[in-house]
Copies of this chain bind each other. A is one copy, B any other.
Amino acid sequence: MEELLGLREGSSGKPVTLQELWGPCPRIRRGIRRGLEWLKERLFRVGEDWYFLMALGVLMALISYAMNFAIGRVVRAHKWLYTEVGDGHLLRFLSWTVYPVALLSFSSGFSQSITPFSGGSGLPELKTMLSGVVLEDYLDIKNFGAKVVGLSCTLATGSTIFLGKVGPFVHLSVMIAAYLGRVRTKTMGESENKAKEIEMLAAAAAVGVATVFAAPFSGVLFSIEVMSSHFSVWNYWRGFFAATCGAFMFRLLAVFNSEQETITSIYKTRFRVDVPFDLPEIFFFVALGAICGVLSCAYLFCQRNFLRFIKTNRYTSKLLATSKPLYAALAALILASITYPPGVGRFMASRLSMAEHLRSLFDNNSWALMTRNSSPPWPAEPDPQNLWYEWYHPRFTIFGTLAFFLVMKFWMLILATTIPMPAGYFMPIFIIGAAIGRLLGEALSVAFPEGIVAGGEVNPIMPGGYALAGAAAFSGAVTHTISTALLAFELTGQIVHALPVLMAVLAANVISQNCQPSFYDGTIMAKKLPYLPWIRGRKIGSYPVTVEHFMNGTLTTLAKDMPLEEVIKAVTSTDVAQFPLVETKESQTLVGIVERTHLVQALQTEPASWAPGQQRFLQDILAGGCPTQPVTLQLSPETSLYQTHSLFELLTLQTLFVTSRGRAVGSVSWIELKKAISTLINPPAPK
């Protein structure tokens, strides 16, 4: 600019001000001003929702990072204590076990004392909520503190208790979104809107997953697969935006804190890129998927039944009802004793943290081949460069330790899931899957020590690839999702095993989806939360079944010409939340909906003005101010079950009234739908 001004000065002889320079071009100036105004308006119009989502992502990333940071400190303190306490076995054992016992009983006691909703992962409840059911107080912000503190304590126990943070983080994220939404509604003076609220919550769920794994793609897809059965592309974009903001912020903090040099994936792997696997290996990948599918069925079955056993058994149910911290402490004591490193823990690499477990299992070398001739040492502390030393035992070999790890963690995880405290169950399942894959991979690398001959070079089989596929397949089978394959790639920063991993996940899903409900569905059933089953396969006779076959035909309608006594009788005889309002008792023409609460309120205020002897009708009450709602959607007796199901799922409905030629003839709610679908799936046995 200076140069330009100088040039001007030289040619005309006197200095030119900026005003003069631009003065002659009023059109350009106006154009620029208009452009800026347009931009401003556009930014604010697009605004709101996007700003909201960005704030949500950034906030969750901060929380996730801060929690990781705090947990890291506590874990380091535990490690320090354990190493500094001396060589006496009793002291070491105590220092190893007391820590998790104290943390877990505090976590359980603290969170349960604040809110009973804080236990478990929270995903099953969220799934129910996103389908439209209102669970009172579940998203209250006061649960937030309980969940954060409880989860931090749970995670600070490290690999002893072996639990993760995905589920609770999704819950936290949704809680914050609901809170921010309420704040926005209040400050902006917007009217509340349930549909929009649910959309925001769906995006928040994606943020939760994305800020834990720094994986926006799989965050969005995983949350969709777990939470919903239908979704709109618009929601998916929102989810992407929020998840990207969250994941970026989360990794940015790691860079700022000098943990990382740049933004990368969390569990970086170093798989060979040129020939990562040979073609025949695809068969083993699919077989691994099938194995994971079968094992996931076994896990889901055992888990559900053990949970039922704990709840029905006299001693445990009493213990759980009266003193949850004690139960948590006892369970923690069992788990911690088993993982005591100089004891049984020696055979299950229990000195590693969960992240180190995963990192070591994804190692690209074959341990079996490396330990054939020389046995690695068992260092005093895990060697960060050779984490896999922990998996080796001179007598057991790595096969023994891996198998032992799997067998023990299998029931230990089931035990851990029964402790009532905030905890996620995805990560342990992911690690167990990785161990399954590693075991198969190591076996293959021993079975085919000559490896893959390609292009004149000999490449050994990489068990790490199998660990990756196993992790994705097992976690996918347990949760009934496919996006775990993508998660595996985003976590490791490599996508060379794209097709084999995807095929393993599909194989695992085929088996588990056919045999067992998913982890979340199983929990929903165990907790008796309302849910709408799927019409699987869409062909088991769902098309010919229509509403008239399964609707609730005994409807308590309120006619406008009903005397008040009859209205009161009708209201007291049932406990439904909504009454269909019809024109007259004879015509039964549906004209609106009356909320029970409104009607009761109106009835209670009414009696004062009653003139004795004078007959009063419902229409007087309605005219007196009792609000009615219009019927926006009505079914016909001929609507198919499939269509009704889609409507309920998409529009997150609770109840719909059925009209035939204008007459209210019945109602359909979740309960009827569920019954109809379960009849379809398990037709009643002929008597």
Is the Cβ of B233 less than 8 Å from the Cβ of A228?
Answer: yes
Is the Cβ of B230 less than 8 Å from the Cβ of A233?
Answer: yes
Is the Cβ of A263 less than 8 Å from the Cβ of B244?
Answer: no
Of A275-283, A344-352, A412-420, the segment with at least 4 beta carbons within 8 Å of chain B is A275-283
Per-position contact with B for A451-480: 1 when CB-CB < 8 Å, else 0? 010110000000000000000000000000
Q: Which B residues are CB-close (under 8 A) to A195?
A: 538, 642
Contact residues on A (Cβ < 8 Å of other chain), bracket: 35 or more
Other-chain residue from B231, B264, B638 in contact with A631 (beta carbon distance below 8 A): B638
Is the Cβ of A498 less than 8 Å from the Cβ of B265?
Answer: yes
Is the Cβ of B537 less than 8 Å from the Cβ of A499?
Answer: no
Contacts A490-B498, A496-B264; is A634 near B636 (CB within 8 Å)? Answer: yes
Is the Cβ of A193 less than 8 Å from the Cβ of B489?
Answer: no
Is the Cβ of A493 less than 8 Å from the Cβ of B495?
Answer: yes
Q: Which B residues are CB-close (under 8 A) to A48?
A: 539
Q: Which B residues are CB-close (under 8 A) to A337?
A: none
Is the Cβ of A643 less than 8 Å from the Cβ of B632?
Answer: yes
Please, how many angstroms separate the alpha-carbon atoms of A157 and B577 in the complex?
A: 68
Is the Cβ of B229 less than 8 Å from the Cβ of A229?
Answer: no
| A591 part of interface (Cβ distance < 8 Å) | yes
Please, how many angstroms separate the alpha-carbon atoms of A234 and B670 in the complex?
A: 20
**Most chain B beta-carbon contacts within 10 A, residue among A49, A196, A262, A639:** A262
Q: Which B residues are CB-close (under 8 A) to A637?
A: 630
Q: Looking across the interface, which residue of chain B has its beta carbon closest to that of A583?
A: B661
Is the Cβ of B279 less than 8 Å from the Cβ of A263?
Answer: yes
Q: Give the contacts of A212-251 with B (CB-CB under 8 A).
A: 214-217, 224-225, 228-234, 236-237, 240-241, 244, 247-248, 251
| A435 part of interface (Cβ distance < 8 Å) | no
Per-position contact with B for A261-298: 1 when CB-CB < 8 Å, else 0? 11111001010010111110010000000000000000
User: How many copies of the shown chain assemble into the complex?
Assistant: 2
Closest CB in chain B relative to A125 CB, distance in Å:
19
| A255 part of interface (Cβ distance < 8 Å) | yes
Closest CB in chain B relative to A470 CB, distance in Å:
18
Please, how many angstroms separate the alpha-carbon atoms of A569 and B248 in the complex?
A: 67
| A616 part of interface (Cβ distance < 8 Å) | no
Please, how many angstroms separate the alpha-carbon atoms of A282 and B216 in the complex?
A: 16
| A482 part of interface (Cβ distance < 8 Å) | yes
Contacts A279-B262, A633-B643; is A232 near B230 (CB within 8 Å)? Answer: yes
| A510 part of interface (Cβ distance < 8 Å) | yes
Is the Cβ of A646 less than 8 Å from the Cβ of B638?
Answer: no
Q: Which B residues are CB-close (under 8 A) to A214?
A: 499
Is the Cβ of B255 less than 8 Å from the Cβ of A279?
Answer: yes
Q: Which B residues are CB-close (under 8 A) to A233?
A: 224-225, 228-231
Is the Cβ of B229 less than 8 Å from the Cβ of A537?
Answer: no
Please, how many angstroms separate the alpha-carbon atoms of A506 and B54 in the complex?
A: 13
Is the Cβ of B240 less than 8 Å from the Cβ of A229?
Answer: no
Is the Cβ of A499 less than 8 Å from the Cβ of B261?
Answer: no
Q: Which B residues are CB-close (under 8 A) to A647?
A: 633, 647, 651
Q: Give the contacts of A22-72 with B (CB-CB under 8 A).
A: 42, 46, 48-49
Given known contacts A48-B539, A240-B482, A261-B454, what 6 new A-B pairs fall within 8 Å (CB)? A228-B233, A229-B233, A261-B275, A632-B636, A633-B639, A646-B650
Please, could you name 22 A-B residue pairs with CB atoms under 8 Å apart, sorted by A?
A196-B539, A215-B498, A217-B486, A217-B498, A217-B502, A229-B234, A244-B502, A248-B282, A262-B452, A263-B282, A270-B273, A486-B486, A589-B661, A589-B662, A591-B661, A630-B637, A631-B636, A631-B638, A632-B638, A633-B643, A634-B634, A661-B662
